[in-house]
Structure 1
């Protein structure tokens, strides 16, 4: 496959390197150049997709493949199968410091001057050599390709945006909070609840947003509590607790998805969040802004498909347990995973008596439950599924020894020092002095590594899924730019939302299922694992999964 690297030049120019040839051209001519070469399906190589791709999308140019050097370097520096020393060379220190761009930066290349004109072709050569010399070049190559495809999908989702009805959102806010307040003031609904809380606790000057003031008021009322979290407050009995809990819920809505959120993140009838691919240690995405990974149920009715269009919402059932079956090559667990409900499959296979026990046991194994009913189920199911339960147990023991673990495709975990802070073995004088504290640190890191291997591999499966799905959606056809065709608009770890012409909705359902099957075969070649999807075809995102929502075939 042809690789074409793009690097910035002084004076708003671009250095294009292909094979042994170099070409300089103005940045303004780049969209036309990329569009013309896309017919050959090259792989574009650049420092950060979030810097290069948005202006191409704005010009109506879609890119099929890329290699994101920032993401690739981040991954290879930590991959146990790769020799990170091969990444050392000219400009290495600047590549190591390169941080992700965000969609709402004022300038396309708003980075520090030292990293402004890095040579993409030189870094690409280092990364290719590192993968080729690694112990697992095929797996690392697949991971790098999926990671970069995810970066393309993230930029496309920000560009296209989620259809969002501002009028519906404002009506929802007004129903629970009252009219929009002046800047810096509480909405009427919150102020009324605050008054109820003050009266109930006989604290006329209480600011319910202040943790110290609230703890003092609770203490004066004879309520002993160490924090003001909702879970702690629910355990208390007092007439002021109910309005206080309601206040905290609505205050959170006001602060995170209120009118200010609408002003900042919704424009032109679209919610345009900013994603950060590989934003967490496991490779899961994070959000640089807008909170796309946690849209609360209260405002989902505002996400409404355009006239003549629909949302296809697809999520995979029990992703991480299925991934555990595949990566451990546990045939018994893979057999239980056939069909829509893995936990019920475990019951049907005679492994446990109830679905609840199946869920307790599997989640307990992945998150390190050692006591109570969950711990008991882990012990029982270990005998039934020794390969799957043994894999997470080995990862936990490795973490307790301070060792790095890896996902199926080769992403490495942070070291114990990175994961638990500089107090651990950074300096003998700084490490916990007593053996009990050191043992707690080890056990905590072991719980992290136990889950890392499964959650990280689940993130890899999801990347393969959306990478294939975005291309399948493009091939469904249509004319014009990305947003005029069926396209991804949301991705939430194990769920995707596609905005599609209504006439193509059933075809989108089929393509989502096909992409899930492809992701499974790419990841787990040695063992067939089912990844069934639950799909809904709806006008409003709030209706997904509800009775009466159209289900895809």
Structure 2
């Protein structure tokens, strides 16, 4: 039985080639199998059932959707693009042939990949997210469902061997091997969740939206509630022609009222002492909701009663997922009532409680923090232990440690946190200092942060030179602190993303053995999963979710005494979770 089966394609001949490979990536005896495109799904299905190989292809997003559309699912794959991105930077694989090679096709950005945005403290404390852009259509065309061509088989074989050699010769091959398998498995699941979709009731969506903003206007324009709020803002700012959607116009109107603002963000507006604050903030909230998840979103993203976003595995530099569009990673709570299970089915919703602090406890081996992580509410246990006065303080302190807060409540509480959990704090502090020096850092399984730019290193060197300009020194130090905050968070958030990938992989496998195997994952958000399950299987599915979380902890951290607690609900509507 082959360990791997490589898939390549000749777009001109409209054929695909299957090459059987041994564990080291060497072709096995026997001829390649060449099949027409229209027979590929049937052949892949038969090989999957008989040999259960790990499928090797250049990009899961190009190959797997067409197989899913034909009713074929595979258990395992090796995504050369995703694995190359990890191994190219992995510090554990330094000196490998893959890292020494000049840039090639796998070093180019993936088609339509979103720009990675580095996380910061505001993301954690304020739960802000960026707007997603609408994507171009994914996959191929009706005439060419596989979407283009692949590199020649010889090139892909050479890439696979370089990747396998890089792992085998790495400092921690077991961890890297697990990371590549989890990342590739995530790509399979992302395609499956897009294919299956999250159950979504468009009628209920319309009702919820109408309650919030008013009926859908005919011929465009603002819904009634938004127009009423806009009129209030104009009156209160004494500007009858004000367009509240225009930041320059709104900023100018606020400045005419005597306010010195740098922007119209809600964080600045809410600090103003003026009657316009409440209607303006409500206008901004509803306007954002309408723009991100209004009727246009419903028309574009919900088909046949399913919301089908396009996930981008590893789309963020830390390994977190992103989306090409549709806002899957920011579904507003006010509209989650439209996510409803089919009749006779349930949604099993699970959220990993305080995942990043628990991951930090496991990574650092800090037994005091591990003890605090025993139970559903880590923050409350820290407060109960007297480390900080309140649960809120515990949350701010821990997020501050992970995200690099040096001022405010988090900064003031850091000395207490350091005394209580010295190993945990030392781990993130060491990552921060490495970043400030321009050095890379790595997650638990071996994903490594991008290298510091040449410009950063030049500024750092110039600032340390004798007679350097004070302004240059201040600028270099500011940039070093920014990079330190990034690397501090990278090791924790990236490892949390690895735990989540292992959780998904374990759960995906377990669901097949429940009932008649119809329960399936339909949504994933960093540390939260949603499974669509027949009602009769829901309790067993809920237990599988818990068991998968336990397995993910063991896969990464062995016997580390850290509990990965879940908030879990079995509901008919996502809003009830």
- TM-score normalised by the chain length of structure 2: 0.87
Report the Cα distance in structure 2 between the residues aligned to 1:293 and 1:371, rounded to whole angstroms: 29
Q: Which moved more, 1:263-272 or 1:181-190?
A: 181-190
Q: Does 1:306 align with 2:342?
A: yes
In structure 2, the partner of 1:487 is 520
Report the Cα distance in structure 1 between the residues aligned to 2:459 and 2:479, rounded to whole angstroms: 13
Correspondent of 1:449 among 484, 487, 509: 487
- Distance change >3 Å, CA 243–CA 371, structure 1 → 2: closer
- Distance change >3 Å, CA 297–CA 72, structure 1 → 2: same
In structure 1, the partner of 2:16 is 14
- 8 A contact 1:225–1:232 mirrored in 2: yes
Q: Which moved more, 1:232-241 or 1:530-539?
A: 232-241
- Distance change >3 Å, CA 381–CA 178, structure 1 → 2: closer
Q: Which moved more, 1:469-478 or 1:452-461?
A: 469-478
In structure 2, the partner of 1:541 is 574
Report the Cα distance in structure 1 between the residues aligned to 2:290 and 2:477, rounded to whole angstroms: 42
Deviation at 1:121, TM superposition (A): 2.5
Report the Cα distance in structure 1 between the residues aligned to 2:424 and 2:232, rounded to whole angstroms: 52
- 8 A contact 2:139–2:146 mirrored in 1: no
Q: Does 1:506 align with 2:506?
A: no
In structure 2, the partner of 1:3 is 4
> Secondary structure, in 3 states, of the residue corresponding to 1:416?
coil
Deviation at 1:255, TM superposition (A): 0.8
Q: Does 1:217 align with 2:253?
A: yes
Q: Which moved more, 1:81-90 or 1:16-25?
A: 81-90
Report the Cα distance in structure 1 between the residues aligned to 2:331 and 2:96, rounded to whole angstroms: 42
In structure 1, the partner of 2:443 is 407
Report the Cα distance in structure 1 between the residues aligned to 2:563 and 2:292, rounded to whole angstroms: 37
Deviation at 1:443, TM superposition (A): 0.8
Correspondent of 2:303 among 242, 267, 286: 267
- Distance change >3 Å, CA 44–CA 115, structure 1 → 2: closer
Residue correspondence of structure 1 range 102-141 to structure 2 within 5 A: 104-105=137-138, 107=140, 119-141=155-177
- 8 A contact 1:49–1:152 mirrored in 2: yes
- 8 A contact 2:85–2:106 mirrored in 1: no
> Secondary structure, in 3 states, of the residue corresponding to 2:91?
coil
- 8 A contact 1:311–1:497 mirrored in 2: yes
Please tell me the root mean square deviation across aligned C-alpha atoms, in Å: 2.6
Report the Cα distance in structure 2 between the residues aligned to 1:538 and 1:279, rounded to whole angstroms: 30
Report the Cα distance in structure 1 between the residues aligned to 2:277 and 2:400, rounded to whole angstroms: 33
Deviations 1:97-120 (A, max 9, x none): 251467832626799978665643
- TM-score normalised by the chain length of structure 1: 0.91
- 8 A contact 1:50–1:103 mirrored in 2: no
In structure 1, the partner of 2:499 is 461
Residue correspondence of structure 1 range 348-367 to structure 2 within 5 A: 348-349=384-385, 351-367=387-403
- 8 A contact 1:329–1:526 mirrored in 2: no
Deviations 1:365-388 (A, max 9, x none): 212233444234321222222211
In structure 2, the partner of 1:551 is none
- Distance change >3 Å, CA 377–CA 199, structure 1 → 2: closer
Deviations 1:292-345 (A, max 9, x none): 111001211111110000000001111011101111111221122112122233
- 8 A contact 1:284–1:493 mirrored in 2: yes
Deviation at 1:145, TM superposition (A): 0.4
